[in-house]
Structure 1
Amino acid sequence: MGLGPRSAHKARRQFSGAGRRGRAARGSGRPPPGRDGCPQLPAAARAEQAPEALPHLSPEALGYFRRALSALKVAPDAAEERELMARNILKEVEAQALALATNRTGSEMLQELLGFSPLKPLCRVWIALRPNLRFVACHRCGVHVLQSALLQLPRLLRSPAEADEEEEGEDGPSQTLEELVLGLAAEVCDDFLFFCGDTHGSFVVRTLLQVLGGTLLESERVKPRGSQSSETQRTSARECKPTDFEVPKTFLNRLQDLSACFLKDIAVFITDKISSFCLQVALQVLHHKLPQHCAHLCDAVIDYLSSRNSSAGGSPLLLFLRDQTSSRLLEQVLLVLEPERLQRLFKNHFQGQLYSLAEHPIANFPLQRLLDAVTSPELLSLVFEELSPALEAVLARGHPGVVVALVEACRRVGAHQAQVLQLLFEAFHCAEPPSRQVACVPLFASLLAYEVYYELMEEEGAVPAEHQVEMASARPLREVTVLGSLLLQHLLYFSNPGLVLRSLSALTGPQLLTLAQSPAGSHVFDAILTSPSVTHKQRRRVLKTLKGQYVALACSRHGSRVFDAIWSGAALGARKEIAAELGEQNQELIQDPFGHHVARNVALTTFLKRRQAWEQQQNSVAKRRRALNSILGD
């Protein structure tokens, strides 16, 4: 299978690329973003000029709006009073809207003000910006103001009758919010290539597509300042749940017009990095709101790529799967394709090429999305048959995300679970002798082969040594990787997670504590506590190892979250034992920034001073929980 168990790679059995799942993860192999080689948009479309006299925002005006915003934030919670303040401030904004939008500090304040704005004041600000809308949309500060205005629509889109009644007697703006949005969409549609190809303008297009479709995508939401690290944002696209809201039918009609614009210049949207992002968002929105239009766009992308010059290895699509820009688009296509189209695409372009894709630094990501999209046992069997012999080789190439995606597909579809677990044992060198299988959890969590984890020096071709329990117990648990944690979580949701649970039960108290205190490892406990495949008896067997570790667990940032989850599901007898253990170090607990929250949730003071009252309280909580569970169960 792939690399033999005693191959030349033995000395480097740490499976690299064990960082976070995503293109920007350390060791992922995905090259940094760039536009080299991308076709350029027409020069005329890039020759946008700023207004002749860009208004200047004086320090006095900036100070006024800063003070006004601060006063608005601390205003009484009464809706009418706060709304009146917002109207008065936004009335002043109208005269200086362009100056505020194009000033870095002013733009940030205006974005916050729009979050408080009622319907008609927002329309007036929009109308004030409309003569320079094209410039604002492509300005590095102004673009965020337009995005913020668009993102107010879920809050403000109500029936005209309600809006009129709410603001009766006030001079209304010359256009409604619906008309303003449609006007912006018409302007974007008229010069679609320019807006989509502009670094800043593309953000407006992407937000506009979501608003027209009544779908806000989690992956496209405006991030707070200072939270732009890839570490917190590499969520699988399949896991990003959209937020839907009602929109007028005219919005969906305009969305159809914009989707047709992609078809006119499909080559640009496939190969230009900035423009491609717009098409990716369009596919997600259309998938939720207009599936037929989404399928039409997917067919256009696949047909275009399939019509290029064939590669020496087979389908011309393979060339684009290895390209920085088009591979990202193909990832999204794979996630929104209907099952029948997905299976046809696999047979026409992917079949027979999975290993070469899995080992490629770019193409392994579209392969992961293919695995994420698999829902039928038939397609999973075809993929599994081709990938299963190469799991160790894929890990050695530093692409554990492919293996995790395959395991997740086996969990989701409910097939090939025993086989993939056995293959993982072989890839991590803990299949033979059988005594090594009890060490699988530390190996999977750290993504290290047995010899590397335990620092063994075995000769080529030598018989693998038996597992030494004493040696394993004395060794601290190594760092838990994000992908290793995901791998364990999926395995715990298998129909028979017995071997993994046996390995968890073999961990010592300090080792299990290290797992619970780890940012990634703490989520393994979520799977232990919630998986329907884990019985109460198996759960208790794992958790009893934590006896004597509960104070350290409660005084940890991530461990305290695990403690809360354990406490929530514990019976009264187990709660008494845990509370008694915490009570022995009550002072240490209440002085800890995390521990004092645990002490409060456990009602530790009541437990120590009024035991009978504490038991009555816990019994009441247990009865309410059982009643709620019975209702939810019905």
Structure 2
Amino acid sequence: MQTESNGKRKRPKKKGSRFMRNAKGFAKQGIFGRGTHIDDDQFSYFINILDAMKAGFEDVEDRVNMANNVFEQTVDKEIHLSSNQIVSKAIESLIGFVDDAQLERFFGKFGDNLRPMCSDRFASHVLQKMLEIAFLRGLGQAAAQEQSEADAPGPAKRAKPDAAQVEEQYNLETDFSDKHREQCRNFVLRISKFMLNNLEDFVWDSCATHIMRSAILCLVGIHVPKIAFEKGGAELAKHRKLYTVPEEWHEVMKEFPQRLELWPQFVDFPYQEHSSALLGVICLSLSVVDKSMLKHFGKKILTQSLLKPNEDNGDDDDEKKESKIEIDDDNDDQGNNEKQDDNEKTEKPNSEPAVLLPKVFHYQCAVILLETLLSVAGAKLLTQLYAMLFSGRVAHLSQQQQTNFAVQRLLQHIKEVSDFESVFTELQPQTEQLLKMGYTGVVSALSGACLRLGAKQAQMIAALQSALHVTGDKEKSKLFFNCLVKLKPHELLAGDQSGFVHLHGSLIAQHILQFNKPIFLVNCILELPAEQLSQIFNTPNGSHIVDAFLQSKYIGEKSRERLIRQLDGFYVDLAITRHGSRVLDQCFKAAQEAQKLHIAKELSNKANMLKGSPFGRLIYTKYRLDTYKLSASQWQASLGQQQQKEESVGQTNKRPAKTATELFKDILTQ
């Protein structure tokens, strides 16, 4: 079966290198960036600045010095330079590191020219970045709500903080004066109110609408960094954090939806890119500050906009589609006739689908808004969204490139078991077809919902067995795990000798291992040859299957011990790779004392091989294998002391109540 290549949304590529090449190429023709004109010397200066920034800085102090030096060159030319394509990139990238006087100077200059700056395609980026920096400096570290241990990135994941984190940390922790912080808060409020008072002009403005969305997020305390050369979206959403803001800001934010829903154009907002994105940001913000207003606002979007029929189809087409749906509810003979029609449709790929879809599913920007609404909606609104938009259409929507992500989002957030069972009934017969088409994310979301809601778990396993063609034969059924991690049916598996593990195959396996009765998959894993098992676990996606196996509360101690013993002889192979060393670490933690000694012996016997790999050296040091070589009993005693120390530290760090970040996470997933 195919991978999900034809069902993925393409991630935006980083444009920094291409931008610089193009800028230097145009400079040879005498074109020094778009927007306002700058001379050759100014262009060369700012291009050199961008090159230096691309090369990186050893520490924050170097970046601060460069930022202040560059901003000294903009005195009395702030507006003119910010409106040039090249210069705006440099200013946007450095403005987070300038001192208070430099930033306040830009506040004043832009504040006197707000309307043209909001609509300028280059200066608007600088203004948006200024809003973010003012937000961070105005609130400070005290307003940052705590990050839970589960959400905090571990040292192994990222050796250094990225650009967004460095900038955020600098602006939160630097000791700015109270006066400067007050001016920053006033700037955020001023820009937000200016946006509110000019809604009619800026909702449709491709530049100003970005500033408006940033302002709304700032008013509720949500920080999503804006980084030059990078687009927003999923890649930057991982940085999203919540801050405590003044109550006054919340009241200003609530005026945006209150005004917009009174507009006659409101019904068309989801079908235009900028206004649709604005509604999404408002829904996200309301989920933080006012759930009852979110329920009202979301219901209005649903009933007035999303339920609109698709006006692009003619009346005759609509009547045909409606008649086809009615046939499905009639007697068996008519049902058989419809099946024949469906078979004919598969032979004619250009024929129209038999399902009548609301207008929302014909516009990508509207579908993305729907996904946002699904992710923040409460239980009642979510049920309404399902009943009015998805019920009876889930199977069809799950097989379309533009709408299968909305089905995934529905499955990830659906709350009522009865609603989920209806969705499952529609999707279960389509499991094999979804895998063939490459829409594997839907199947993964379906198994995740089975786990989260504790429903239809046995049926999910049966559907996957049938889709992968491993039912009805004892030998085939043993290959269920192999087929699952590659998401390939039994007959295609024989020709695949690669170590590839499909991301969604791994996720589905992890879900099943945490089901109430995962014994079938457990036995399939334990019956695999150790060599094949270690090859699967030694991959980025496969390594996490071990975590689910060892941590599942429905897998017995004997099965865990058997898995750890089964990998004997392959621990060195695991230890010398990035992902394999993670697996070894998990196995060692879960092993009994005797098995730990056995693993240590296996590793120490090939110490030179371990030391030849950076990951192996870490394992060698972490488990004190040099001590083991000298004395196994002394090593065992020191290991016990280390374990007691780690347990005592863990108990000290335990928090009795939910952190603010966890609370925020709950809000966003309602």
Residues 451, 512 of structure 2: 8 Å contact kept: yes
Task: Identify the match of residue 247 of structure 2 among 239, 249, 252.
Answer: 249
Residues 55, 99 of structure 1: 8 Å contact kept: no
Change (3 A) 1:409 1:69: closer
AA at the equivalent of 2:42: S
- Within-5 A mapping of 1:247-396: 247-263=245-261, 264=263, 265-304=265-304, 305-308=306-309, 311=318, 312-313=321-322, 318-396=358-436
Task: Identify the match of residue 123 of structure 1 among 80, 101, 104.
Answer: 104
Change (3 A) 1:560 1:156: same
Residues 57, 100 of structure 1: 8 Å contact kept: no
| CA drift at 1:104 | 5.3
Identity of aligned residues (%): 24
Q: Aligned partners of 1:627 and 1:167: how far apart in 2?
A: 38
Residue range with higher mean Cα deviation, 320-329 or 195-204: 195-204
Change (3 A) 1:175 1:588: closer
Task: Identify the match of residue 58 of structure 1 among 42, 45, 51.
Answer: 42
| CA drift at 1:484 | 1.1
AA at the equivalent of 2:138: L
Q: Aligned partners of 1:278 and 1:580: how far apart in 2?
A: 60
| CA drift at 1:410 | 0.8
Change (3 A) 1:127 1:358: same
Q: Aligned partners of 2:36 and 2:227: how far apart in 1?
A: 32
| CA drift at 1:411 | 0.5
| CA drift at 1:492 | 1.5
Q: Aligned partners of 1:610 and 1:109: how far apart in 2?
A: 60
AA at the equivalent of 2:483: L
Q: Deviations over 1:597-618 (max 9, x none)?
A: 2222222333334545433321
Task: Identify the match of residue 97 of structure 1 among 47, 54, 78.
Answer: 78
Q: Which residue of 2 aligns with 1:24?
A: 10
Task: Identify the match of residue 204 of structure 1 among 207, 211, 214.
Answer: 211
Q: Which residue of 1 aligns with 2:636?
A: 615
Residues 308, 358 of structure 2: 8 Å contact kept: no
Q: Aligned partners of 1:294 and 1:55: how far apart in 2?
A: 51
SS in 2 for 1:152: helix
Q: Deviations over 1:216-259 (max 9, x none)?
A: 3xxx5446857x799xx579x9xx69521011222212211222
Change (3 A) 1:355 1:207: same
Q: Aligned partners of 1:396 and 1:76: how far apart in 2?
A: 50
Q: Aligned partners of 1:444 and 1:246: how far apart in 2?
A: 45
Residues 321, 366 of structure 1: 8 Å contact kept: no
Residues 287, 294 of structure 1: 8 Å contact kept: yes
Q: Which residue of 2 aligns with 1:539?
A: 560
| CA drift at 1:389 | 2.6
| CA drift at 1:89 | 7.1
Q: Aligned partners of 1:178 and 1:564: how far apart in 2?
A: 47
Q: Which residue of 2 aligns with 1:596?
A: 617
AA at the equivalent of 1:266: F
| CA drift at 1:59 | 5.7
Residues 354, 367 of structure 1: 8 Å contact kept: yes
| CA drift at 1:270 | 0.7
Residues 307, 358 of structure 2: 8 Å contact kept: no
Q: Aligned partners of 2:51 and 2:500: how far apart in 1?
A: 48
Q: Deviations over 1:350-375 (max 9, x none)?
A: 22222222222322222222111212
AA at the equivalent of 2:406: P
**1:549 matches 2:594:** no
AA at the equivalent of 1:614: W
Q: Which residue of 1 aligns with 2:666?
A: none
Change (3 A) 1:629 1:74: closer
Q: Which residue of 2 aligns with 1:413?
A: 453
| CA drift at 1:140 | 5.1
Task: Identify the match of residue 443 of structure 1 among 470, 474, 483.
Answer: 483
Change (3 A) 1:322 1:526: farther
Residues 83, 116 of structure 1: 8 Å contact kept: yes
Q: Aligned partners of 1:269 and 1:486: how far apart in 2?
A: 36
Q: Which residue of 1 aligns with 2:330?
A: none
**1:152 matches 2:136:** no
Change (3 A) 1:607 1:343: same
Q: Deviations over 1:47-100 (max 9, x none)?
A: xxx998879972686499789989x966798xxx99899778766655443355
Q: Which residue of 1 aligns with 2:15?
A: none
| CA drift at 1:418 | 1.1
Q: Which TM-score applies when normalising by structure 1?
A: 0.77
| CA drift at 1:412 | 0.4
Q: Which residue of 1 aligns with 2:581?
A: 560
AA at the equivalent of 2:401: P
- Within-5 A mapping of 1:448-487: 448-454=488-494, 476=497, 478-487=499-508
Structure 2 unaligned blocks of 5 or more:
13-33, 144-171, 312-317, 326-354, 657-670
Q: Aligned partners of 2:301 and 2:487: how far apart in 1?
A: 37
SS in 1 for 2:488: coil
Residues 392, 428 of structure 1: 8 Å contact kept: yes
AA at the equivalent of 1:490: H
Change (3 A) 1:322 1:66: closer
Q: Which residue of 1 aligns with 2:519?
A: 498
Residues 222, 240 of structure 2: 8 Å contact kept: yes
AA at the equivalent of 1:204: I
AA at the equivalent of 1:503: C
Q: Aligned partners of 1:76 and 1:270: how far apart in 2?
A: 42
Q: Aligned partners of 1:205 and 1:174: how far apart in 2?
A: 21
Change (3 A) 1:64 1:486: closer
| CA drift at 1:107 | 3.9
- Within-5 A mapping of 1:210-249: 210-216=217-223, 221-222=225-226, 233=234, 242-249=240-247
Q: Which residue of 2 aligns with 1:575?
A: 596
Change (3 A) 1:406 1:83: closer
AA at the equivalent of 1:148: K
Q: Which residue of 1 aligns with 2:27?
A: none
Q: Aligned partners of 1:193 and 1:515: how far apart in 2?
A: 57
Q: Deviations over 1:26-56 (max 9, x none)?
A: 9xxxxxxxxxxxxxxxxxxxxxxx9988799
Residues 270, 329 of structure 1: 8 Å contact kept: yes
Q: Aligned partners of 1:241 and 1:68: how far apart in 2?
A: 25
Q: Which residue of 1 aligns with 2:342?
A: none
AA at the equivalent of 2:570: Q
Task: Identify the match of residue 401 of structure 1 among 438, 441, 447.
Answer: 441
Change (3 A) 1:225 1:528: farther
| CA drift at 1:319 | 3.6
Residues 7, 439 of structure 2: 8 Å contact kept: no
CA RMSD of aligned residues (A): 4.1
Change (3 A) 1:124 1:608: farther
| CA drift at 1:408 | 0.9
Residue range with higher mean Cα deviation, 526-535 or 325-334: 526-535
| CA drift at 1:158 | 4.1
Q: Which residue of 2 aligns with 1:585?
A: 606
Residues 324, 362 of structure 1: 8 Å contact kept: yes
AA at the equivalent of 1:58: Q
Say which structure, 1 or 2, has more relative contact order (CA 8 Å, 6+ apart).
1
Aligned residue pairs total 562
| CA drift at 1:449 | 1.0
Q: Aligned partners of 1:267 and 1:576: how far apart in 2?
A: 68
Task: Identify the match of residue 533 of structure 2 among 499, 509, 512.
Answer: 512
Residues 266, 300 of structure 1: 8 Å contact kept: no
Q: Which TM-score applies when normalising by structure 2?
A: 0.73
| CA drift at 1:436 | 2.4
